[in-house]
Structure 1
Amino acid sequence: MQLPQLILIDVDGTLVDSVPDLAYCVDEMQKLMDMPLRGEAAVRQWVGNGVPRLVERALSNDLNGTPDIALYDKAYPIFLEIYQDNVSKRSCLYPGVKQGLEWLKAQNLHMGCITNKAARFTEPLLKDLGVADYFNIIISGDTLPRKKPDPMPLLHGAEFFSVKPKDSIMLGDSVSDVKAARAAGFGIICMSYGYNHGEDINLANPDVVIDSFTQLPDVLS
């Protein structure tokens, strides 16, 4: 792939392994709701579509589940309160992320962060893990009326930097990222290790799949 003018990078499953914190919060919520614990393995299959959807999946114990609305309305504020104090206590950058970000920075491209996580959680997480300053824009799940897989956040990022979509790349980990990139006219690179509900990301046909941010110099020239 050609070196782009703009790269927009996903958070959960791409930059950050946030499942340990999310799983902790899910199980603490479940305890307070007097419901069975779900555990990290289950939560790892459920993340990637924002906190509201994660809470629905945890309550129903099902990737495609929808709980009773009264149950959800009681549980969701509980999760938010717990997560507010546990955004980055157990989460960590994936190996190679810092090196990859440093290489991208040295190429003088525009860099943005794009996630379905709400800003109140995204910004502290990136700051706590020491990567917030790499990004000239952070587009969170509540920044715009629509979020991934809708192309709106990606197109907003391109417009912010006055870059054409064809000169832009999305770096993500899920089918949601692939759909958003295709709809926006971006190139798409995916990480092999991310959160894609247990499915091999190769099945979504991104342009390139890599195992580490340290491979970015090999695929962008």
Structure 2
Amino acid sequence: MSSSLLAARFDEPVFPHGPIVAALIDLDGTMIDTADDFTASLNRMLVQLDLVQIKREEVVAYVGKGSGHLVHSVLGQRLETHAAQACFDQALSIYHHEYAQLNGQQTRLYPEVIEGLAAMRAAGLQLACVTNKPWRFAVDLLQQYSLDGYFKCVFGGDSLAEKKPHPLPMLTACSALHVAPIQAVAIGDSENDALAGRAAGLATLAVPYGYNHGQPVQTIKSDGIVATLLAAANAIAAHNLKASP
């Protein structure tokens, strides 16, 4: 189904505040489909630990809360609690090493990502990437797809003392962009993005094609579902037009 047909199925987002001047955008599941890289890296880890391999469908249910949660969840399905805890540090180190070798190899941009980012920048919005992915992996991936130039700052899951769904990454990104949270929107594919955005006082938008821990996007409490980042840019522009004095 085309993105235009998808967009026609969604109601126009209703933002709770005035004009939007900044967008804080998630990475995995929002801009880039990285599940196959996660799966391949985890399977390399599992081979070294002599554990049962994993499939993409299981991985998708764990994505969105950072590498530690991902590895912990995978181990928890394959080992008793004590054994999983005992080998966690080793497993996480192996996973990070393997992911560094594979980052970007089996990924793909979602439709209208570049068009959406370009439209937001053309409209004067300031952009930040706020992800739970480790910072170095996020920056590397953004560079591979020539997306880094759209963002004034990037915050990873290891950039701060807390990660999403805690509001700290959103608040810190707003501070870095010199905008008030009430002037920004958080865009992501999971409940974590919406929870962090709402807790920080931002408007929130959800995209329907990502992971959301394996749950339907309709379970996310947000200000609207948008088919693509270009649809998000158009929704923000329409809102700003109405909100202008």
Alpha-carbon distance between aligned partners in 2 of 1:67 and 1:150, rounded to the nearest angstrom: 29
**Cα distance between partner residues in 2 of 1:212 and 1:141:** 24
Instruction: Tell me what 2:104 maps to.
Output: 88
1:158 alignment counterpart: 174
Q: Distance in 1 between matches of 2:43 and 2:148?
A: 28
Which has the higher Rg, Structure 1 or Structure 2? 2
Please, which runs of 5 or more residues in structure 2 have no aligned partner?
1-14, 239-245
- Give the CA deviation at 1:217: 4.0
Q: Is it true that 1:101 corresponds to 2:117 in the alignment? A: yes
Tell me if the contact between 1:92 and 1:129 (Cα under 8 Å) persists in the aligned partners: no
Alignment of 1:125 onto 2:125:
no
For the aligned residue pairs, the C-alpha RMSD in angstroms reads: 1.6
Distance in 2 (alpha carbons) for counterparts of 1:66 and 1:124: 35
In structure 2, relative to structure 1, the CA distance for the partners of 1:66 and 1:19 (3 Å cut) is farther
The aligned residue for residue 68 of structure 2 is 52
Query: Does residue 38 in structure 1 map to residue 60 in structure 2?
Result: no
What is the CA–CA distance in structure 2 between the aligned matches of 1:156 and 1:217, rounded to whole Å? Answer: 22
Counterpart position of 2:194: 178
Q: Match of 2:224, as an amino acid? A: V
Aligned-pair CA distance for 1:67: 5.8
Contact 1:172 1:189 in 2 (8 A): yes
1:97-137 Cα distance to aligned partner (Å, 9 max, x none): 01111111101111110001111211101101110110001
1:189-208 equivalences under 5 Å are 189-208=205-224
- Mapped partners of 2:185, 2:87: distance in 1: 40
Alignment-mate amino acid for residue 205 of structure 2: I
Deviation at 1:73, TM superposition (A): 2.2
Return the TM-score normalized by structure 1. 0.94
Contact 1:56–1:67 (CA<8 Å) still a contact in 2?
no
1:6 aligned onto 2:17: no
Name the amino acid aligned to 1:155: L
C-alpha deviations, 1:9-57, integer Å up to 9, x for none?
A: 0001101101010000011111111111011111111111011111111
Q: Counterpart in 1 of 2:7? A: none
The 1-side partners of 2:113 and 2:19 are apart by: 18
Cα gap change, 1:77 to 1:48, in 2 (>3 Å):
same
The 8 Å contact of residues 56 and 66 in structure 1, kept in 2 or not, is answered as no
**TM-score, normalising length: structure 2:** 0.85
Return the alpha-carbon distance in structure 1 between the equivalents of residues 96 and 197 of structure 2: 29
Relative to structure 1, is the Cα distance of residues 72 and 168 closer, same or farther in structure 2, using a 3 angstrom cutoff? same
| Partner of residue 115 from structure 1, selected from 131, 139, 144 | 131
Q: Bigger relative contact order, structure 1 or 2, given CA contacts below 8 A and separation 6+?
A: 2
Pick closer, same or farther for the CA change 1:67–1:135 going to 2, 3 Å: farther
Q: What is the CA–CA distance in structure 2 between the aligned matches of 1:75 and 1:109, rounded to whole Å?
A: 40
Identity over aligned pairs, percent = 31
Letter in 1 for 2:24: L
- SS of 1:209's partner is coil
The answer (yes or no) to whether the contact 2:23–2:185 under 8 Å persists in 1 is yes
Instruction: Provide the C-alpha distance between the structure 2 equivalents of 1:4 and 1:154, rounded to a whole number of angstroms.
Output: 15
